[in-house]
Chains A and B, each alone.
Chain A
Amino acid sequence: MPDEAGTIGLRVARYRPDTDSEPGWQEYDVPLRREWTVLDALNHVKNEVDPTLSFRWSCRMGICGSCGMDVDGTPRLTCGTFLADFAPGPIRVEPLSNFPVVRDLVVDIDDFIQKLPRVKPWIIRDEEKSVDEGEYLQSPEELDAYKQFSMCINCMLCYAACPVYGLDPDFVGPAAIALAERYDLDSRDQGARERLDVLIEHEGVWGCTFVGECTRVCPKHVDPAGAIQRYKLKAARESVKALLLPRGAR
């Protein structure tokens, strides 16, 4: 194999609920190859050293969102994180923070799966147009208005990085709010009001104290922190309106 430059240590968090009373660590030495990502190293361990190590992965090209883990203290997609950047090591690999650990590096993301539908991440229309009438026109500029927020791959790195979500599991969280904003900003959508009703609640946008960690760790540059700020402004405007106007007039 080319470009081999010795080995590097992986310090991997292990936890098997059937047998372990608490999580522990296991050390593996893996070849330090220029092309190898942390995911390649984990697969090397799984295939050649220890088949019992469990982790999720699929596309290995940063688009399916499966392989998020905590690498040296920062949530990252392991398929896009190269061993060489951590030489001489060792590299600490842990399950994503803020989620219950199912097993080894696998976390339970069911909380997000349950929360996502609450922000109604789909096109809402007062009146739906028939497919026979063709497409909704949308200029390239109108597309650009929401494009960035449509890039979310649901990898959960932002939830793992969010100190608010860590303290308050009821917080809707960065990715879900970014996706709500994605539809609000879509010229085809008319559902902003319905989404605001959800996000204006206590566990909606107000939970966020604007730490900005979500945006910093996002591998797709979605900027959930920006989305949350926009929602706070919208929500603030609404509450001012609510003070000044009777409900029916809003």
Chain B
Amino acid sequence: MSDGGFTATHDVLVIGGGGAGLRAAIALADADPVLDVAVMSKVYPMRSHTVSAEGGAAGVIAEGDTVEEHIYDTISGSDWLGDQDAIEMFVDEAPRELLRLEHWGCPWSRQPDGHVAVRAFGGMKKMRTWFAADKTGFHMLHALYQTSLKHDDVTRYDEWFVTRLLVDDGRVHGVVAVELMTGRIRAVAAKAVVLATGGCGKVFPFTTNANINTGDGMALAYRAGAPLKDMEFVQYHPTGLPFTGILITEAARAEGGWLLNKDGYRYLQDYDLGTPSPTPVLRSMELGPRDRLSQAFVHEVEKGRTLDSPYGPIVHLDLRHLGAKVIDAKLPFVRELCQKYERIDPVTELVPVRPVVHYMMGGVHTDLDGATPVAGLYAAGETACVSINGANRLGSNSLPECLVFGARAGRAAAEYAATAGPAPAAVAAQAADEERRLEHDLLGRAGTERVSAIRTEMQSTMEESAGIYRTGPSLAKGADTLAELQQRMARVGVADRSRSFNTELVAALELANLLDVAECILRSGLQRQESRGAHQRTDFPARDDETFLTHLLVHREPDGSSRVERLPVTITRWKPGERVYGR
């Protein structure tokens, strides 16, 4: 872009090629055949983190299940922080989206009569989770990717890393990105942009998330003037493998797995989650919600009833009673992962597990159509916060969320692009600024700080200050450390002078994104002086509906500081009540 112009111009540019991004792209292509659509991603689409989702996707289809019950489960699971209009709409549209995936070839597991099978899942009162063995995300992503290939008019920018959204007068007009293969810095104009870049688990040291989950879309939107919502709500999944953090799906418990402490005792019965039964009981014990199960683990550690491992305290997941046949049919990937990464066979041995950062309930603030407050800028999937997940997401709601809101954001972006004008001249100047910043501030600078050192410190700071349980002082201390790390970030140097596939440059850009997202997590966490869902403050142990039945939106001020704003939760028909599991 040395001529100051744009490499290309599109009507709509989707950033990210995972579940939400590809669903948006297909919705865009279907919405209007003349619309010029492009997908830009820092990885090839089939590498996106949707690929790692295991357990399944919730949608009401089974006889005896009702939309009302899925809505109630999701609202109570969210600890009443989810917006009820969004949840109603989501639950209503999820089954159609899952059926569409079926028509596109997703190999859903089946009942003997050929209908789609459903399984139980945590916090769900009915069996409603569609699954493709225990590789649901993998199969959904490849079905979406392969189906998207039919639309050969959709331009793909594989392995392009977006560094900035171009925004003028409150409207988005495109992006600046690094083409990784060549290292060229490019500006691409678009009337509308859909962010679908996934989550930000790499803010923490121990996570199920892939290396690529660095909060890119959240940070881009935040800097472009869109607020981040409910960032204090970080989901710990109760069952990760101790060293790697590799996810052992909740489906393992849905199929009948037990959580045992060091005495072989099903400890969840001590935490108001029900009484043990040999076979799984819905919304009870091991099928309770993730926030409550991860919190129970911490209490077991405090009571000295966990086991020690080289990587911290663990409990056991017991699948032995399920037998080889069920495990091979329903949980083959779990068996493969345990054998490979723990050298144990769950058919005959106990699986060591501990809670692990898994999912970000918060994200870019959007309305029901994925629209952010920046005109032309949309977000969907884990990047976004509509919000349907509130203070705690239920397992198997995130995959259908990608589909429902990916499609909605795509359709809305198509409509917007049809009426939006071309980029004003000021935007080209912004693009040139960004090119200079990348060239001089990062690639050309001999810095004194290393990316990996700052990243490690950020991760341990976040674990110490904003883990399963937090306090005002822990969050405040974390925020101080992060402020220091931000200053050190300004002195980071990129030793790699090479243009082609410079992964050190990418790591530096990702770290800058992670630091901004981490700051927002702590900022919101400090502000929310109550305990709700995944945000547990030991200094404010009770839920406080009087003061905090509200979303928190973190805005970035022009001077780089942040400002927190409140937005009331939308309540339609379900008055805030007690979350009851197992009784």
Contact = CB atoms under 8 A, between A and B. Distances in A.
Interface of A: 1-3, 16-19, 35, 46-48, 51-52, 54-66, 80, 102-104, 106, 108-109, 113, 116-117, 121-123, 128-129, 131, 134-140, 142-143, 146-147, 150-154, 179, 183, 186, 188-189
Contact of A121 (B149, B495, B504): B149
A150 B139 contact: yes
Given A64-B210, A103-B498, A122-B150, A51 B107 contact: no
B149 A117 contact: yes
A109 B504 CA distance: 21
Contact of A113 (B44, B108, B494, B504): B44
26 contacts: A17-B500, A18-B498, A18-B500, A48-B452, A51-B450, A51-B495, A54-B504, A55-B503, A58-B47, A62-B337, A63-B135, A66-B43, A104-B501, A106-B501, A113-B158, A123-B103, A123-B147, A131-B100, A136-B102, A137-B114, A138-B114, A140-B111, A140-B112, A150-B107, A153-B138, A186-B105
B105 A123 contact: yes
A19 to B, nearest CB: 7
A46 B452 contact: yes
Contacts of A153: 46, 51, 138
A139 B110 contact: yes
A17 B501 CA distance: 10
Given A51-B494, A62-B340, A122-B150, 17 more contacts: A18-B500, A48-B452, A54-B502, A55-B503, A58-B210, A60-B210, A62-B337, A63-B51, A65-B47, A103-B500, A108-B181, A121-B149, A138-B114, A139-B110, A153-B138, A186-B105, A189-B105
Contacts, number: 163
7 interchain residue pairs of minimum CB distance = A137-B114, A2-B310, A47-B452, A103-B501, A52-B496, A117-B149, A58-B210
**Most interface-central of A19, A57, A129, A140 (chain B CB within 10 A):** A140
**Most interface-central of A1, A104, A135, A179 (chain B CB within 10 A):** A135
B142 to A, nearest CB: 7
B498 A61 contact: no
B265 interface: no
Contacts of A151: 135
Contacts of A136: 102-103
B109 A135 contact: no
Given A122-B147, A186-B105, A60 B504 contact: no
Interface in B183-213: 210-212
A171 B288 CA distance: 52
B451 interface: yes
A243 B103 CA distance: 36
B452 A51 contact: yes
B46 A121 contact: no
Contact of B52 (A16, A59, A147): A59
Given A52-B496, A61-B244, A65-B46, A147 B99 contact: no
B107 A146 contact: yes
A32 to B, nearest CB: 15
Contact of B504 (A2, A51, A80): A51
**Most interface-central of A54, A142, A151, A188 (chain B CB within 10 A):** A54
A143 B109 contact: yes
Given A48-B452, A60-B210, A62-B340, A128 B495 contact: no
Nearest to A128: B103
A60 B147 CA distance: 26
Contacts of A121: 146, 149
Given A57-B211, A64-B52, A137 B113 contact: yes
B243 A150 contact: no
Given A59-B210, A113-B158, A179-B146, A135 B115 contact: yes
A55 B104 CA distance: 33
**Most interface-central of B115, B139, B149, B152 (chain A CB within 10 A):** B149
B335 interface: no
Contacts of B113: 137, 139
Contacts of B310: 1-3
Contact of A58 (B43, B158, B243): B43
B500 A135 contact: no
B495 to A, nearest CB: 5
Contacts of A65: 46-47
Interface in B123-146: 135, 138-139, 142, 146
A122 B149 contact: yes
Given A51-B496, A54-B502, A58-B43, A80 B340 contact: yes
A138 B103 CA distance: 11
B114 A139 contact: yes
B569 interface: no
